[in-house]
Amino acid sequence: MEKKANEALLYAAESGCLRGVKAALKAGADIDYTQDNNVVTGTGTALFIASVDGNVGMVKLLLNKGASLTKRTSVSSSVPLHGAAMRGHTKVVEVLVRRGATVDIQDAFQKTPLMMACVFQHVDTVQRLIELGARVDLTDRCGMTARRYCEVDMIREECDCARREMLQLILRAMNSKLLRCCNPTCGKPGLRSKLKLCGQCKMTRYCSRDCQKQHWTVGHKKSCGHDAYRDAGPSPFEKMFKKMKRETSTAMCPVPGTPTYTEERQPPSQKVFIVLLMVLLWFSYSLFADDDSELGEEDFDSCVEVLYGGIEELM
């Protein structure tokens, strides 16, 4: 019964049905329930789904019912604030931060919501995140900063207006060398030259003790200590490959009366992931290529060889 209520909660969230969400919670659904059957992204909580969809009303409802701001997805370890920033839902971003979400929270790749907004070119979201105190100097697992993500498509002077505008916002924040108080309702809005860090998470900054107390009461109490991704184990994609390997091995076990896969006939899911990784590798190669370099068929062939070499090691 509880499992059906949990699944009904996620279905209602995906459908944008407030009445369905209320009914599922009334039936005893776990508000932070997730399904980990998607090996690529992992299904997030109802709050994560509502944040990605930009459903402000549902986000407020779930937060009022006690939904977690820090429950992560299974593979990328993203939180609702990452999802909202990625889709450019500025209003949802503001609601989440005002309810205690850490503006610089990191996923498994050490990406912050600001970086996600830059990657997907959401100028308004970038501006609002900076206004809410997001740091522009943080780096992700690949050493990339928000500024670098804005400059990626500037190779050979092929830059659109959105990226130029985002870059100006980030450079302005960098040149000021000043930080903002992370309390969204700070009575003294503006930049500060001296801010004090939260003693526990070391990520949020406040201009006064009063601001820290207010932010703690509003919601930072639930987020504090869950801000940084601290898993020192395998990378998310390594975990994904291992899970794929286990599932593929199970599917390929010979059962009397059933056909078995051969090298010529791979499981469809495995083919899909190989194609997906080929695209990702090509994108990564072109992303980090030098300004004057030209990408040809030989480069692509070498990428494919590296890709299949890595897959063979994991398989």
- In contact, 293 and 217? CB cutoff 8 Å: no
Q: What is the pLDDT of residues 135-184, one digit of tens each?
A: 898 999 889 999 999 887 554 454 578 888 999 999 998 887 667 788 88
Give the mean model confidence (pLDDT) for residues 203-217. Answer: 83
- Write down the pLDDT at residue 314: 46
The residues, any chain, with a CB within 8 Å of residue 219's CB and separated by 6 or more, are 69, 98, 99, 100, 101
For 150-217, give the DSSP string.
HHGGGGGG---HHHHHHHHHHHHHHHHT-EE-S-TT-SS-SEES--EE-TTTS--EESSHHHHHHHII
For residue 109, how many C-alpha atoms fall within 13 Å in the half-sphere facing its CB? 17
Tokens (6 digits) for 32: 């932070």
The strand pairing partners of 179, in sequence order, are 192
Distance CA 51, CA 70 (A): 13
CA 141 to chain centre: 13
Distance CA 24, CA 76 (A): 27
Q: Is 16 left (phi over 0), alpha (psi -120 to 50) or beta?
A: left
The residues, any chain, with a CB within 8 Å of residue 295's CB and separated by 6 or more, are 285, 286, 289
- Write down the pLDDT at residue 156: 45
Distance CA 191, CA 179 (A): 6
- Write down the pLDDT at residue 303: 53
Q: What is the pTM of this model?
A: 0.70
**16-30, 99-113, 209-223: the lowest-pLDDT one:** 209-223
Exposed / middle / buried, residue 309 (Cβ in 10 Å: 0-12, 13-18, 19+): exposed
Give the mean model confidence (pLDDT) for residues 233-254. Answer: 56
Q: What is the pLDDT of residues 176-205, one digit of tens each?
A: 766 778 888 786 656 666 788 887 777 788
- Write down the pLDDT at residue 292: 47
| Domains identified in the chain and CATH numbers | 81-223 (1.25.40.20), 236-251+267-314 (no CATH)
Tokens (6 digits) for 172: 């302005």
Tokens (6 digits) for 106: 């990191």
Give the mean model confidence (pLDDT) for residues 60-69. Answer: 94
CA nearest to 47, candidates 38, 37, 30: 30
Q: Between 63 and 256, whose confidence is greater?
A: 63
Cα angle 231, 115, 240; round to 5: 40
Confidence grade of residue 290 (pLDDT, cut at 50, 70, 90): very low
- In contact, 257 and 282? CB cutoff 8 Å: no
Give the mean model confidence (pLDDT) for residues 46-75. Answer: 93
Exposed / middle / buried, residue 98 (Cβ in 10 Å: 0-12, 13-18, 19+): middle
On average, the pLDDT of the chain sits at 77
